[in-house]
Amino acid sequence: MILSTFAVEKKRIVMKYCFLFFLSTLSLFVTAQQLKLTNAQVEAMFLEQNLELIAERMNVPIADAAIAQAKVWDNPELSIDDINFWGGSEHPKQFAVELKQMISLSARRAKLAGVEKIGREIAIAEFEELLRALRVELRSTLASIRYNADVIIFMDRQKELLNRVVSGYMLQYEQGNVTRGELVRLQTALLVLEGEMNDTRVELNGDIKTIKNLLSIDSELEIITSEAQATLPDPSSLNLEELIQLALDVRPSLQKAKLRSEQNRREITYQKALVIPDLSVGVKYDRRAGLWNDYISMGVGFNVPIFNHNKGEITKSRMQLRQNEILMRQEQNAVRNEIIENFDNYCRTYSLLEGNLSIATFNELDILLDVYAKNLLGKNITMVEYMDFMDSYRSTKQMILRSRKELVLQFEQLQFAVGQWKTTSKESNAPI
């Protein structure tokens, strides 16, 4: 009996530890599936894991392979003919063997390799252009996440106070101190607020999905928005003409247009080289060809360019060159106008935040929110005054946060237009 009780107790202890081990393992698994990342960590992971970037980067070794292939000589041609199957032992069988090699007299392979080398540089420019577009999408989405998270925070605060006010009015309504209409108005305001919070959370989930797609992950993701926001440069420290000139020098889309023009020039040279005949050199061995049992001969050959001078391809390459030069001028004009527009938008939003929407004003609104709630419950202000303040509070807070987000987006668009990403200065007196 004692042994049976001991066995049952031992089994119970073992099952208890197995259950605890299972819970701890499950906890570790869930934790491993959840990622908490700062903006810097998100961008670092994006550069390493984005599948679109990885695929685009592969175009560079593809171009390297095309360059190597362009330099390869044509294979020699071996032919065996004039085989006589009816020769006997007294008359050895007749056959002939010929080996030919084509030799380019126009450096055709070198010229084609030059065209492919420009193709490699274009592949690099296209990768940088894709990186630029995806990076501005990433940073814009992070700014939107920051904005929506901040909106949810102040709405949560507003909801907490409004719930307290509704609870207080519920008691006063039961005591007959307030009308049913006043209570319903507060409850309606709370319902509207919860609806706006739900819409904001839906938008936030969409932004998180975009970030997960850019990072090529499928695990749960949380973006840490409590860290200090990056300080943006004062527009007065930026020179518009220098930004335009910088864009003309380094922007990938312009670099690609210049490279395509150079590629067209090399293509013209290559097409002209195709007009020059290739020389074919061969050696032939003929057994029992006639007078000699073993006959060895050599020969040369080349095509005569009488009908085909490759004029069509040469003209095509020249027209493509002119076309690309026109498109490059159009791209340069578009870049100038884009930078002017983005710079002007950045200056205006920066001035708005710096001149009118200070941090002190932003924090004072939160203090007034508590004050108005207490005054309403204490009957020091009317329902109309409280509701007017609530509407003004929510619209003002959203406008300030939206302006902060727009400033970040406009700065990213300015960097996108210039084509070069710089680290922002921590010493500048930016308003965000």
Residues 383 and 410 in one domain: yes
Is 13 part of a structural domain of the chain? Answer: no
The residue from 309, 324, 356 where one domain ends is: 309
Which amino acid is it at 245?
Q
Residues 213 and 185 in one domain: yes
- Minimal CA–CA distance to 146: which of 402, 334, 319, 343? 402
Residue count of the chain: 432
* Contact (Cβ atoms closer than 8 angstroms) between residue 80 and residue 97: yes
CA–CA separation, 80 and 423 (whole Å): 69
The residue from 287, 309, 331 where one domain ends is: 309
230 φ, ψ to 5°? -60, 140
Range of the domain at 283: 73-103+276-309
Is 46 part of a structural domain of the chain? Answer: yes
Q: What is the pLDDT of residue 13?
A: 47
Is 11 part of a structural domain of the chain? Answer: no
Residues 59 and 124 in one domain: yes
- Minimal CA–CA distance to 394: which of 366, 416, 422? 366
Q: What is the pLDDT of residue 81?
A: 84
Residues 125 and 263 in one domain: yes
Residues 299 and 383 in one domain: no
Residues 186 and 300 in one domain: no
Domain count, the chain: 2
Q: How far is the first Cα of the chain from the last one, in angstroms, to the nearest whole number? A: 77
Q: What is the pLDDT of residue 28?
A: 38
CA 274 to chain centre: 41
Residues 67 and 165 in one domain: yes
What CATH number is associated with residue 170?
1.20.1600.10
Residues 320 and 258 in one domain: yes
Residues 249 and 367 in one domain: yes
Is 23 part of a structural domain of the chain? Answer: no
Residues 206 and 296 in one domain: no
CA–CA separation, 239 and 245 (whole Å): 10
Cα angle 128, 131, 132 (rounded to 5 degrees) comes to 85
- Each residue's pLDDT, cut to its tens digit, for the chain (432 residues) gives 443 443 444 455 445 444 444 444 444 343 445 678 888 899 999 999 999 999 999 999 999 999 999 999 999 999 988 777 666 555 667 788 999 999 988 899 999 999 999 999 999 999 999 999 999 999 999 999 999 999 999 999 999 989 998 998 899 888 888 888 888 999 999 999 999 999 999 999 999 999 999 999 888 888 887 666 778 899 999 999 999 999 999 999 999 999 999 999 999 999 999 999 999 999 999 887 666 778 888 999 988 888 889 999 999 999 999 999 999 999 999 999 999 999 999 999 998 887 665 555 667 888 888 888 888 888 888 888 988 988 888 888 888 889 889 999 999 999 999 987 654 433 333 333
Is 12 part of a structural domain of the chain? Answer: no
**34-37 and 77-81 beta bridge pairing:** unpaired
Is 215 part of a structural domain of the chain? Answer: yes
Q: What is the number of other CB atoms lying within 10 angstroms of the CB of residue 420? A: 14
Is 281 part of a structural domain of the chain? Answer: yes
Place of tokens 């020039």: 265
Residues 257 and 340 in one domain: yes
* Contact (Cβ atoms closer than 8 angstroms) between residue 347 and residue 236: no
Residues 155 and 294 in one domain: no
The residue from 288, 309, 330 where one domain ends is: 309
Is 184 part of a structural domain of the chain? Answer: yes
